[in-house]
A and B are shown apart, each in its own frame.
Chain A
Amino acid sequence: MKALLLLHTLLLVSFAELSTLTVDDELVILDGNLSAGNSEDNCVVNDPSFGIKEEEVVEEQEPPPVSGHFNPFQKESLMDYPFEERLVLRPLPRNFLLASFQFNITSDELSIDKGASHFNSYAHNTVFPRSISPILEHTNTRQLHLRFTHGLWDAESWGQLPHNGSKSGGTGVEIWAVLESDSKQAAFAQWISLANSLSGLFCTSINFIGSDKTSYPVFSFQPSGENSLPLFNENSKLYLVRAALANEPICTENLTPFLKLLPTKGKSGVASLLDGHKVFDSHWHSLSIDIETRCDDTSCKYHMEEFVEMVVHVPNALDRAEKPIPKPVEEHELRCDESKPHDVFECFPLPESTDREFELSKLFGRYILGTNLVSRSPSRVCAEVGPNWSALVKVGNTYFSTDDNCFEIKGDELHDLYLQTSDTAQVASSEDVPIYVSRSLTGYGQDGGGLRTVFKNPSNETVSLVYFESLPWFMRLYLSSLKIESEDGLQLDDVITNTFYLPAIDRQRPTHLEYNLKVPPNSTFALSYQFDKALLKYAEYPPDANHGFDIESAVVTVLSPLKYEMRTATLLLSLSTPDFSMPYNVIILTSTIMGLAFGTIFNLMVKKLVTVEEADKSNGSVGSRIIFKFRERIKAIFKKKVPLFDESKKNQ
């Protein structure tokens, strides 16, 4: 029968029950003539002339077609995701301890081809942070490097920075990225968009990056990894963009988003040790993120390395943990030099004890809350210690040790690490830094100054390096004033092999300076140049204008004899600061002078000019007029007498 009338009232009820009916299942209904009826109370028309009664209910087939037995959950023996984490502890000389938390995450395959299968493009994330990929995709970012660093790395005592310095930035925030774009202008727009997005994600002021802080490095920051720089569009190019904010304070609000990026959310695995109070209470700390797009023949994936590193002074940290409120040391705890007179009131303190034992939970205030469960391999804790140290892992109340001092965290029990030594000065040897570089401001006064950078090569090999400097536009650099000071008689041409210099444009571009340098063995020299300080506009001064302006660190990339990266300390440049009430004073003063001048001229033109006599004559009162008349009389008498005298003289 052709009657295809559908009876909705009944069906609506059944629709509501069958939680499965929707548009797309209707698209697979086999009988094409079958109608599903219209929305409301249609079909049964109120008009009786339609005269159709509810005759037939066409049964809807019930989707979804469930085939076979219904099995919602499937047990899998091994489930691992591309996530790895480990904690490396390395004691440093003078009772310092370097703790390095390392996390590696790889994303699911990216859907690059957005053409034909547009409706089939889904972005799937498992362990890779979901917040990062949309940002990278939307700004066409192929590599992203983000550094939050604060504190002083004592290179002379502690040796090389961890990971050859490749994971730590200059003080403040540093960010660089490789962007795919058609033009430099478009790349800059993407860069700004990236900066704004990251600023929100990491609670920082990265959004203050504009064209006046952005540079495009030429020799430095060269991206590594051959297949980590894919071009998704053959017509576009890759741009390397970099900026740094030296005055950015790094604090807990930056660590929290770092932890949220991890699948464990800091609730299990080594990340459970991380607590903002302890991390930022350290002498030096660095948070870093490096994301690369790695492609093989068929697919691309994001690869992310996240590092949280810090150097803590162990005795101080333990004291803090024991006595949150500092109190004087008890008498029996005093360590006095016994060769000198000592009693309750007099004590010459001994140097710090070299005998030390501590547990990680004391340093961090927390335990490791079991391993992370999602990972391919369990969480690891490694202690890189010297031979006279002993490192034990504590699970429950039992201690375990291993040959290589690396421990795997298993299960969800609380783990702790116990370190003990009789001589804290004996630490695993760290390699020496290939070069020391320090930079300082010279000169005085508010109109100019100088920059002086000292390079010291303590080794027996020539060190070749790239020196990168990005200076704000208000430091007007004179490259012609570049001088070298050297006791060994080195000339500029001897050390500088290549220079890249892009002068600043006011308010639009920073000075961008890169040198290829060759530092001869066992030599020290200083490069210096002069600059003028520009005057800023009234509104360009920050609220704390008298504090000065932070100048970001210079970046030193050592190319040979080994790959190493380091930053100089930041500088504090004081610019002449105006008296901010000045404009109003100027207005008042100028107005007064103008008013005065105008008044004078106006009065000259409008008022009548008279001689004193006329004024006296016309202006006097009755009394003065009488005096005036009296005076006139006397004058008249004198006038009469004078000729008399003359005549008498004549006569004489």
Chain B
Amino acid sequence: MSTLGLRKAVAIWFFAVYVFVGVPLWYKLTTIYRAPLPIEHIRSMHENPHTDLHLVIPVYVRSDTYNFPDVHDAIQVQVNELLKSKKGPLTWSLQVLPFESWVNEESDYVVTLALDNFIGYTIPYDSKETIVFFNDESVVANDIPFFVAQTLIEHTFGLEWQHFSESKDVIKETNNNMAISYTPNVHLSISLLTGDGRPVAWDIVPTLEEYFTPLRRFISPLVNFTVDTGIVYYNDLKLGSLSGSDTASWQDLSHTVDLSELSSMNYYSERTVLNLAIVFPGHSAGNLSFINSTSKHDWQSFLVPQWGVLVINKSPLPDSTRLTKDYLTPIIYKFSRELFQLLGLATQAADLSTPYVTIDSFKRLMIIRNLDESTETLWSLVKLVEQFPQMAVPEEVLVNVRKALDLRLQVAELINDPFKGGDAVWNQALLLSNELFRVCEDAFFHKEMVQQNFFPQEHKIAVYLPLLGPLTVIMLSGLVNAFKRKQKEESSAEKDQDVKE
């Protein structure tokens, strides 16, 4: 009896198990884990970055003299019209509401209509109130809603108007070369450097307490500063080599100054460090004649982008000198002003005249920027994952991405709610968006991802080929033979019969 059929079946079974069970199992067991990221969601977020965002700021209108029962509706119409006229990267609007007794004047935006004999407005430097003055003619002409709308959009919310409506891209517009990237905690390092070892002292303690503490308190919702001070001897940032030159330009200076010792201070727990360095040349180097000293002070200050402020003194310190408050105060003032530039709050040193309003606007700007940057980070993550199909994507990345999407929803809910708009809300949203930014960075910079990326794929083949090679060859040749044999055996059976006959 011929067993050919059975043998063929066995060969086919072997092959089938090899192909349909073995190979997928092998593939499954040897592939690296790639967490399923919500790629489509992130893609749509990247393509239409602000579709889920509609920033709404509540504004309460009150009138001292006259009662305008529906002025808020009229202002709302004007505001909407004005905002519609320019289409920026982000849709935002104001929710104009009548003033109620529960409105907190300190944390909410209030517009006060005041009767006067001319038309104008003012924004006090110490509150978030906008006062619009009107006269009787304007009431008759029904101009008030338009004045108010214009004042609010172009002045009270000038920063938003500029960045959300007039510009093309929130991120690019807010980034400048001078400013550090925004982080909620910044370290300030204040150093007094002298070129030699003669002892110096400075009244930095009372100066800072008097002139810097208020600034810290004021800016704390946005940036928390930690401050340390120190005296550094035998370091004049190599300025001594410029002492002979009368006409050293800014370029010469920037080529000469050696900030390495001050910049390599990586022992602070904060990621970002800004510096104020007050430098005195050593006695051996002598006067720095290129410094333009004025009658008021003997120093010149330089703003170093993303690093801090450098105050260079013209002449060396006399022996055993104490720098008094008189000397330090102007420097601290100047530094405070330039700090806003370094933080990106202001592009010019002087445009922070309505600080409460500006800081609040800046918060919103930072929230949007954090949202945008985190979207960019997530998009980069998606691109990375798609570009390297062999790269592992650990579970933590997925967890972080999910957390980020969650946080984004929370932030969006906060800023989209037309009835929420107090300080607490913006602070909360800013905190959440900072967290979002951090979570996205964590997801992108997961160390296992890039580390495993260059794990050579040939290794897998090299390791398994000694086993899989022989098995495959045996099995294939067995299968082929089994089918060839069929014809052979049939023909040989015929021949056998011939022989018997």
A binds B: yes
Q: Which residues of A pack against B, CB within 8 Å?
A: 2-6, 8, 12, 15-16, 19-27, 29, 32-40, 42-43, 45, 47, 49-52, 63-64, 66, 70-81, 119-127, 130-131, 133-135, 138, 197, 200-201, 263-265, 267-268, 372-374, 584, 587-588, 590-592, 594-596, 598-599, 602-603, 605-608, 617-618, 625
> A52 contacts which of B118, B213, B333 (Cβ < 8 Å)?
B118
Minimum CB distance partner of B493 in chain A: A618
Q: Mark B292-333, 1 if CB is under 8 A from A, else 0.
A: 000001100100000000000000011011111011011001
Given the interface pairs A8-B353, A123-B228, the reply to whether A79 lies near B154 with Cβ below 8 Å is: no
Given the interface pairs A124-B204, A608-B485, the reply to whether A24 lies near B218 with Cβ below 8 Å is: yes
Cβ-based interface call for B7 (8 A): yes
| Interchain CB contact under 8 A, B322 and A73 | yes
Q: Please, how many angstroms separate the alpha-carbon atoms of A69 and B336 in the complex?
A: 24
| Interchain CB contact under 8 A, A35 and B334 | no
User: Which of these binds chain A: B369-377, B380-388, B473-481?
Assistant: B473-481
A302: shortest Cβ distance to chain B, in Å? 14
Minimum CB distance partner of B124 in chain A: A35
Given the interface pairs A587-B463, A606-B10, the reply to whether A617 lies near B353 with Cβ below 8 Å is: no
B59: shortest Cβ distance to chain A, in Å? 16
> B268 contacts which of A8, A76, A79, A134 (Cβ < 8 Å)?
A134
Minimum CB distance partner of B467 in chain A: A591
| Interchain CB contact under 8 A, A73 and B324 | yes
Q: Please, how many angstroms separate the alpha-carbon atoms of A195 and B323 in the complex?
A: 37
Cβ-based interface call for B211 (8 A): yes
Please, which residues of chain B bring their CB within 8 A of the CB of A63? 333
| Interchain CB contact under 8 A, A39 and B358 | yes
> A130 contacts which of B126, B228, B336 (Cβ < 8 Å)?
B228
Cβ-based interface call for B229 (8 A): yes
Given the interface pairs A21-B337, A608-B485, the reply to whether A603 lies near B213 with Cβ below 8 Å is: no
Most A-side CB within 10 Å, residue of B162, B231, B266: B231
Please, which residues of chain A bring their CB within 8 A of the CB of B327? 72-73
| Interchain CB contact under 8 A, B333 and A123 | no
| Interchain CB contact under 8 A, A32 and B230 | no
| Interchain CB contact under 8 A, B197 and A588 | no
| Interchain CB contact under 8 A, B470 and A373 | no
| Interchain CB contact under 8 A, A5 and B122 | yes
| Interchain CB contact under 8 A, B147 and A50 | yes
| Interchain CB contact under 8 A, A37 and B354 | yes
Please, which residues of chain B bring their CB within 8 A of the CB of A618? 492, 496
| Interchain CB contact under 8 A, B231 and A126 | yes
Please, which residues of chain A bring their CB within 8 A of the CB of B126? 26-27, 32
Please, which residues of chain A bring their CB within 8 A of the CB of B230? 124-126, 130
> A51 contacts which of B118, B463, B469, B496 (Cβ < 8 Å)?
B118
| Interchain CB contact under 8 A, A373 and B120 | no
Please, which residues of chain A bring their CB within 8 A of the CB of B118? 3, 51-52
Cβ-based interface call for B21 (8 A): no
Q: Please, how many angstroms separate the alpha-carbon atoms of A635 and B496 in the complex?
A: 20
Minimum CB distance partner of A600 in chain B: B474
User: Which of these binds chain A: B43-51, B105-113, B173-181, B344-352?
Assistant: B344-352
Given the interface pairs A24-B218, A36-B125, A200-B267, the reply to whether A124 lies near B10 with Cβ below 8 Å is: no
| Interchain CB contact under 8 A, A595 and B474 | yes
Minimum CB distance partner of B261 in chain A: A260
| Interchain CB contact under 8 A, A131 and B265 | yes
Cβ-based interface call for B214 (8 A): yes
Cβ-based interface call for B158 (8 A): yes
Q: List 10 A-B contacts (CB under 8 A).
A: A23-B352, A36-B353, A38-B357, A43-B121, A52-B119, A76-B321, A79-B322, A124-B204, A606-B481, A608-B4
> B150 contacts which of A45, A74, A265 (Cβ < 8 Å)?
A45
Please, which residues of chain A bring their CB within 8 A of the CB of B154? 42, 45
A35: shortest Cβ distance to chain B, in Å? 5
B151: shortest Cβ distance to chain A, in Å? 8
| Interchain CB contact under 8 A, B123 and A24 | no
Minimum CB distance partner of A618 in chain B: B492
Which B residues between 211 and 258 are near A, CB-CB below 8 angstroms?
Answer: 211-220, 226-235
| Interchain CB contact under 8 A, B208 and A592 | no
Contacts A264-B197, A606-B14 supplied; 7 other A-B pairs, CB < 8 Å:
A8-B353, A39-B158, A50-B147, A74-B321, A122-B229, A124-B228, A591-B466
| Interchain CB contact under 8 A, A39 and B346 | yes
Please, which residues of chain A bring their CB within 8 A of the CB of B499? 625
A40: shortest Cβ distance to chain B, in Å? 6
Please, which residues of chain A bring their CB within 8 A of the CB of B266? 200
Q: Please, how many angstroms separate the alpha-carbon atoms of A596 and B201 in the complex?
A: 86
Please, which residues of chain B bring their CB within 8 A of the CB of A26? 125-126, 353, 355
Cβ-based interface call for B424 (8 A): no
| Interchain CB contact under 8 A, B467 and A594 | yes
Q: Which residues of B pack against A, CB within 8 Å?
A: 3-4, 7, 10-11, 14, 116, 118-126, 138, 143, 147, 150-151, 154-156, 158-159, 162, 197-201, 204-205, 208-209, 211-220, 226-235, 265-269, 297-298, 301, 317-318, 320-324, 326-327, 329-330, 333-334, 336-337, 340, 346, 348-355, 357-358, 463, 466-467, 469-471, 474-475, 478-479, 481-482, 485, 489, 492, 496, 499
| Interchain CB contact under 8 A, B337 and A39 | no
Please, which residues of chain B bring their CB within 8 A of the CB of A121? 226-227
Given the interface pairs A138-B269, A606-B481, A608-B3, the reply to whether A33 lies near B124 with Cβ below 8 Å is: yes
Most B-side CB within 10 Å, residue of A19, A38, A125, A263: A38
Please, which residues of chain B bring their CB within 8 A of the CB of A374? 197, 199, 233
| Interchain CB contact under 8 A, A120 and B204 | no
| Interchain CB contact under 8 A, B355 and A70 | no
| Interchain CB contact under 8 A, A125 and B321 | no
Please, which residues of chain A bring their CB within 8 A of the CB of B209? 120, 122
Q: Please, how many angstroms separate the alpha-carbon atoms of A590 and B276 in the complex?
A: 68
Please, which residues of chain B bring their CB within 8 A of the CB of A124? 204-205, 228-230
Q: Please, how many angstroms separate the alpha-carbon atoms of A606 and B227 in the complex?
A: 82
Please, which residues of chain B bring their CB within 8 A of the CB of A264? 197, 233-234
B118: shortest Cβ distance to chain A, in Å? 6
Most A-side CB within 10 Å, residue of B3, B122, B324: B122
> A75 contacts which of B199, B231, B297, B320 (Cβ < 8 Å)?
B320
A6: shortest Cβ distance to chain B, in Å? 8
| Interchain CB contact under 8 A, B336 and A23 | yes
| Interchain CB contact under 8 A, B215 and A23 | yes
Minimum CB distance partner of A35 in chain B: B122
A378: shortest Cβ distance to chain B, in Å? 12
Minimum CB distance partner of A19 in chain B: B334
| Interchain CB contact under 8 A, B354 and A38 | yes
| Interchain CB contact under 8 A, A122 and B208 | yes
Given the interface pairs A72-B323, A201-B267, the reply to whether A268 lies near B354 with Cβ below 8 Å is: no
| Interchain CB contact under 8 A, B336 and A592 | no
Q: Please, how many angstroms separate the alpha-carbon atoms of A372 and B481 in the complex?
A: 95
> A265 contacts which of B199, B235, B321, B324 (Cβ < 8 Å)?
B235
B415: shortest Cβ distance to chain A, in Å? 22
| Interchain CB contact under 8 A, B350 and A73 | no
> A119 contacts which of B220, B320, B336, B478 (Cβ < 8 Å)?
B220
Given the interface pairs A33-B124, A64-B330, A265-B235, the reply to whether A74 lies near B322 with Cβ below 8 Å is: yes
Please, which residues of chain A bring their CB within 8 A of the CB of B467? 587, 590-591, 594-595
Please, which residues of chain A bring their CB within 8 A of the CB of B143? 49
| Interchain CB contact under 8 A, B470 and A12 | no
Please, which residues of chain B bring their CB within 8 A of the CB of A201? 267
| Interchain CB contact under 8 A, A606 and B125 | no
A119: shortest Cβ distance to chain B, in Å? 4
| Interchain CB contact under 8 A, B321 and A75 | yes
Q: Please, how many angstroms separate the alpha-carbon atoms of A201 and B267 in the complex?
A: 8
Q: Please, how many angstroms separate the alpha-carbon atoms of A338 and B212 in the complex?
A: 81
> A76 contacts which of B265, B320, B349 (Cβ < 8 Å)?
B320
Please, which residues of chain A bring their CB within 8 A of the CB of B324? 71-74
A136: shortest Cβ distance to chain B, in Å? 10
Please, which residues of chain A bring their CB within 8 A of the CB of B301? 19
| Interchain CB contact under 8 A, B211 and A50 | no
